[in-house]
Amino acid sequence: MGYLDYEKLTTVMRGLALEAGEKIMEIYNSDDFDVKVKSDDSPVTAADEAADALISAGLRAAFPDVLLVTEEQAASHAERADTFLIVDPLDGTKEFINRRGDFTVNIALVENGVPTRGIVYAPAKARMFFTKADGRSVEEAGPFGSVVGHCMPIQVADSDNQALMVVASKSHRDQATDDYIGKYAVKDMKSAGSSLKFCLVATGEADLYPRLGRTMEWDTAAGHAVLSGAGGCVVRFDDLTPLLYGKDSYANPFFIATAPSVVLKEG
């Protein structure tokens, strides 16, 4: 494949995320949109499909030699490579359908099992997080244009283990998650949809995000990259080893996204 130009990647990912976000918001703000159900019973809308087509075409044109794995193209789920781009064109479809705003465009690069670059764009929230070419993460202040605006470096919190801020899923909260959170001294809880939860840990707005439920790699790779670039980490729930990518079927085990200063409890 040769050398991958990270500067170009950052520019392309950001541009495609903005274009996809604009298309998603057109449909989001329309009077009505159809919702279909995929074979795994998950919902899909015209916004998912339109954003996927736009992002896929852009990435394939810019990086024709890099494998592209995307949620909406089942054929890509059978392919494997050490280096690949992975996309969830609309993460948080349930949030989108219910017009709750907590949905994101996720684009990431995985190298040797590790998400090293990524962008998470929440168009309805006007928040954008991405890794720069050097791998460090920033949040760009809107409004977003063709030229990158003011970017603030982001960094995980120096966590107080006696007063933790925990973020959990808005649509997938369950008793097992609550029981695990109960092992910590929690100052406050917040809920968020999609990969925004990773970003809240990355900015220090939360210390800990446990996920005891089904996710796929395209759900998590971009947020994982942003969190890593802000000094955080994502570990498997079962043995607290790093969460790796390129797994069979691209399915994730349960995991914990955290600031490294949090003293993690066993499940």
Q: Rounded distance, CA 240 to CA 78, Å?
A: 27
Q: What is the number of other CB atoms lying within 10 angstroms of the CB of residue 208?
A: 26
Q: What would the 3-class secondary structure string for the chain be?
A: CCCCCHHHHHHHHHHHHHHHHHHHHHHHCCCCCCEEECCCCCEEEHHHHHHHHHHHHHHHHHCCCCEEEECCCHHHHHCCCCEEEEEEEEECHHHHHCCCCCCEEEEEEEECCEEEEEEEEECCCCEEEEECCCCCEEEECCCCCCCCCCEEECCCCCCCCCCEEEEEECCCCCHHHHHHHCCCCEEEEEEECCCHHHHHHHCCCCCEEEECCCEEHHHHHHHHHHHHHCCCEEEECCCCCECCCCCHHHEECCEEEECCCCCCCCC
Q: Which residue has the tokens 């244009």?
A: 145
- Give one word for 112, left, alpha or beta, with left for phi > 0 and alpha for psi -120 to 50: left
- Residue 93 is labelled as binding a ligand: yes
For residue 204, say whether it is annotated as part of any ligand binding site.
no
Two tokens at 71?
């949620």
Q: Is 182 annotated as a binding residue?
A: no
Beta-carbon contacts of 2 under 8 Å, excluding residues fewer than 6 positions away, are: 65
140 has binding-site annotation = no
Would the annotation count 90 as a binding residue? Answer: yes
- The binding site for Mg(2+) comprises 71, 88, 90-91, 219
- The binding site for substrate comprises 71, 90-93, 219
- The binding site comprises 71, 88, 90-93, 219
